[in-house]
Amino acid sequence: MKKGFILLALIFCASLLFADGGPTPETGEVEVLHWWTSGGEAASVAVLKELLEAEGHTWKDFAVAGGGGDQAMTVLRSRAVAGNPPTAAQVKGPQIQDWAAEGFLTNLDDVAEAENWDGLVPKVIADIMKYKGNWVAVPVNVHRINWMWVNPEVFKKAGAKIPKTWAEFEMAAKKIQAAGMTPVAWGGQPWQEITVFETIVAGVGGTDFYNKTMVQADPSAINSPTMVKCLETLKMMKQYTDPGAPGRDWNLATAMVIKGEAGMQFMGDWAKGEFTAAGKKPDVDYIATHAPGTSKQFLFNVDSFIMFEVKDPSAKEAQKAMARLILEPKFQEVFNINKGSIPVRMGMSEDPFDIPAQLSMKDFTASAKTGDLVPSMAHEMATSRAIRGAIMDTVTAFYNSDMRAKDAAAQMANAVRSAQ
């Protein structure tokens, strides 16, 4: 009797422990490395943490400050080499395949099949998340690169029309300049310069030319008359910037448009956050539209998480739960509203999103169908870091010198060939 009573008591205590939210065999911990540390970014990633913890798992935050993620990648590499990688890490583009090729990543095909990821994510993005046909990473969101941010009051004062082509751009820029204002708010930093440059490549050369040069990095396509025209367009823009452009941060350039000091800026959709913070309303105080010549193209930058191979069964369950939650509608909606990006999951309702995001969602869906959804070279979605560096160095040298466009095209082709 006494032994039976003790056994019943132990069972009762255990049931209380589990009912109280204590550890269960199904719950585990995920250690997540990321560089989302600013206000809006931190709030966005907190949403995923809350959803995961609501299912009983534990989130161990491993945030490494630095917007570009270079410091985070250094830390991640040292942890992985030491045999102690985190459960998940924020990594994007071709780097995903690099990690997978080294044997670090786990196979997520079971989650992907159960959740129909192949039916929810455009193929061009899904392919970046896979290695040898297997899912090894989860896409989180989509940023559009080829935006033009416009102050309509500046255009009205100058009697200029918002441009849809690069020829119209030059006409509008001349009028704004003649009215005593700066046509283009420019951030003179290498990454900003190639962001504008790849937008020009898409607008001047079209999708096929963009893919040949910025994605496939074909030296013969790079050293071509079309590339010369792209470079000439970039240099043409320079005469419509102001003397304070060199070294200017992107958000300070955005502020020029907000204040009515400049007519337009070419920058990704993270610029929208600056307008929102300043209390500006879309289609009233500012207009967000596609850059000249890119009404069909959607240049994308996608954040994603790679999932490392873990031995602990509970940690593996938590990892799968995290992967599943990332692409579920609730997280996709709340996260992207906070972040200023749009869902990578197709078929989401546009209603909760603002006007620029709704336009972006429509264009995202349309471009996925037409083949005009293309990865951003400037933001490390399209090529290796070595090739990106070769293109960026050439563009920077060309933009900040008297180099001829024809010579720059030849130099870029040689630099890319050496980096391959």
> If you average pLDDT over every residue of the chain, what do you get?
92
Predicted pLDDT of residue 338: 85
- The 10s digit of each residue's pLDDT in 251-261 is 999 999 999 99
Predicted pLDDT of residue 13: 42
- The 10s digit of each residue's pLDDT in 345-401 is 999 999 999 999 999 999 999 999 999 999 999 999 999 999 999 999 999 999 999
User: 132: alpha, beta or left, given left = phi > 0 and alpha = psi -120 to 50?
Assistant: left
Predicted pLDDT of residue 45: 87
- The full set of domains in the chain, from first to last, is 27-144+301-359 (3.40.190.10), 147-300+378-419 (3.40.190.10)
Token readout for 175 is 């009028």
- The 10s digit of each residue's pLDDT in 330-349 is 999 999 998 889 999 999 99
For residue 384, which phi and psi values (nearest 5 degrees)? -70, 165
Predicted pLDDT of residue 302: 97
For CA atoms 82, 83, 84, 88, the dihedral sign is: positive
Predicted pLDDT of residue 68: 63
Q: Alpha helix locations (H) across 270-404?
A: 272-277, 313-326, 329-339, 355-370, 385-399
Task: Give dist(CA 257, CA 267) in Å, integer.
Answer: 12
% the chain with pLDDT above 70 = 93
In this model, does residue 4 exceed pLDDT 70? Answer: no
Long-range contacts of 151-160 (CB under 8 A, 24+ apart): 151/257, 151/258, 151/260, 151/262, 151/263, 151/264, 151/285, 151/286, 152/285, 152/286, 152/287, 153/260, 154/181, 154/257, 154/260, 154/262, 154/263, 155/263, 157/181, 158/263, 160/263
User: 271: alpha, beta or left, given left = phi > 0 and alpha = psi -120 to 50?
Assistant: alpha
Q: Are 58 and 29 in contact (CB under 8 A)?
A: yes
Type of residue found at 308: F
- The 10s digit of each residue's pLDDT in 31-70 is 999 988 877 778 888 889 999 999 999 999 998 876 567 7
Predicted pLDDT of residue 66: 67
Q: What is the mean pLDDT of residues 122-147?
A: 97
Q: What is the mean pLDDT of residues 98-125?
A: 97
Those residues whose C-beta lies under 8 Å from the C-beta of residue 198, and which sit 6 or more positions away, are 145, 210, 214, 299, 376, 377, 378
In this model, does residue 20 exceed pLDDT 70? Answer: no
In this model, does residue 1 exceed pLDDT 50? Answer: no
Q: What is the mean pLDDT of residues 86-104?
A: 94
Best CA proximity match to 72, nearest among 81, 80, 63: 63
Predicted pLDDT of residue 120: 97
